[in-house]
Amino acid sequence: MYPPDTDCQFLIEATSKLHRIHLTVVESELEEALFTECDDYVSIRDREGNETNSKEVARWCGQDFPAAITSSTDSLLVHFHSDSVIQKRGFNISVIEFELPGCPPEWHSESLSSPFCYKQFVLPHILPWFDAQKECNFERANLATFQSEREYAYIAETFSQTHSFPWIGYTDANVEGIFETVVDRNAPLWPENFPLKHETEAKDCVFLDWNKREQQVAYEADDCRNRRPFLCKKRKDGSEVPAVLPSGMIRRGFRDFSIDYTILIIIVIALLFLLVVTCVVYQKFKDRHNRVVNVDMNTQRIWCSSSMQQPATTDSRIGDAIRQEFGGWAQI
């Protein structure tokens, strides 16, 4: 376990200004967050020349952590903090540097001349579409979109045999039926005759359904909240700008869906309230009825008691019979 009341910083620098740092989180087990605040945490800052001019790119606690982080410059700053209350196992990271232009480990490229790198995240890294884009951002990438038939063919050849159906970077979350790329709302789509035009309002995000390979493209739409593998893409020269999506980016249909659920919840609560009121009224009526019945019964008992009071008598013949049967005296 890591020690309490610890505050450590580790500066990771590449051997060249033209190199970038690729940090992989192998495992991490820290104290869970109290509501949204992490008392024990790991923070990764993208250090730009000096410590005061750095930007936090990730912070985590508990067991929820990014798969990997790529630096935008030649260094990363790792900050670990713990309090005095609870200690866990800690975290384990591995670091490697790579040269630009180039791809980090586990990333694929069509050829040396190709300007792009690709990586598919599979189990255990399956996420909703929005979170998948955030995970790509940690690697200074975006969910993949395609610019040509050749690029798409390379992706199909490289990843379709994995039998996974990854999220890619198309969505109609802003306007139903009008798909856009995650990078640029005004960017042209490929193919021009985009195959998804009449999907239902519950399906706003695009994934690759390799069961549809006989079609021109294997695009399919799904509910953005479903968890899937995902495919990230970035430029080899490090110029890729991660598209940070607004936290409120939900489709109009989600809002309608939420309103429908809100109405349903209100109806259920109203029915439960009515049921509780009915039970209370019934219980009060039952208690009142029981009191009336008890009064009547008490009256009957009093009446019976008063009407049946007579001098006690003992039949000697009964006593004689009992004595004969048991050989002794019995009291009646």
At the topology level, CATH places domain 103-271 in Mannose-Binding Protein A; Chain A (3.10.100)
Question: Which of 21-25, 257-261, 310-314 is least confident?
Answer: 310-314
Same CATH topology for 1-100 and 103-271? no
- Span 138-147, average pLDDT: 97
Whether the per-residue pLDDT at 159 is higher than 90: the answer is yes
Q: Taking residues 157-175, what's their average pLDDT?
A: 93
pLDDT, position 261: 55
When the pLDDT of each residue in the chain is averaged and rounded to a whole number, the result is 83
3-state helix, strand, coil in the chain (%, to 5): 30, 30, 40
| Predicted confidence (pLDDT) at residue 118 exceeds the cutoff of 90 | yes
* 230 C-beta neighbours (distance < 10 Å), count: 29
% of the chain surpassing 70 pLDDT:
79
pLDDT at 328 > cutoff 90: no
- Helix, strand or coil for residue 177? coil
Residue 313 confidence class, pLDDT cut points 50, 70, 90 = very low
Q: Under 8 Å CB-to-CB from 171, ≥6 apart: which residues?
A: 129, 179, 180, 182, 204, 205, 206, 224, 251
Domain ranges of the chain: 1-100, 103-271
Q: Where are the beta strands (DSSP E) in the chain?
A: 7-13, 19-29, 41-48, 50-60, 68-70, 75-81, 90-99, 116-121, 142-143, 167-175, 178-181, 205-208, 219-222, 230-235
Fold of 1-100: Jelly Rolls (2.60.120)
Please state whether 327 falls in left (phi above 0), alpha (psi between -120 and 50) or beta: left
The residue ranking higher by pLDDT, 39 or 257, is: 39
Does residue 162 surpass a pLDDT of 90? no
Tell me the pLDDT tens digit for each residue of 180-219: 999 988 889 999 888 887 667 789 999 999 998 778 899 9
Mean pLDDT of the 12-37 span: 94
User: Two tokens at 279?
Assistant: 């039970």
Find the angle CA(202)-CA(207)-CA(210) to the nearest 5 degrees. Answer: 125
Query: Average pLDDT of 1-22?
Result: 95
Average pLDDT (117-128) is 94
pLDDT of residue 102: 97
The pLDDT score that the predictor gives to residue 215 is 82
**Under a CB-based contact definition with an 8 Å cutoff, are residues 39 and 11 in contact?**
no
Q: How confident is the model at residue 325 (pLDDT cuts 50, 70, 90)?
A: very low
**At residue 259, does pLDDT exceed 60?**
no
Task: pLDDT band for 303, please (50, 70, 90 cuts).
Answer: very low
Please count the other Cβ atoms lying within 10 Å of the Cβ belonging to residue 32: 14
The DSSP-derived string for 23-86 is EEEEEEE-PPPBTTB-SSEEEEEEEESEEEEEEEEEEE-TT---SEEE-SSSEEEEEEE--SS-
142, 183, 194, 212 from 165: Cα distances, Å: 17, 21, 19, 11
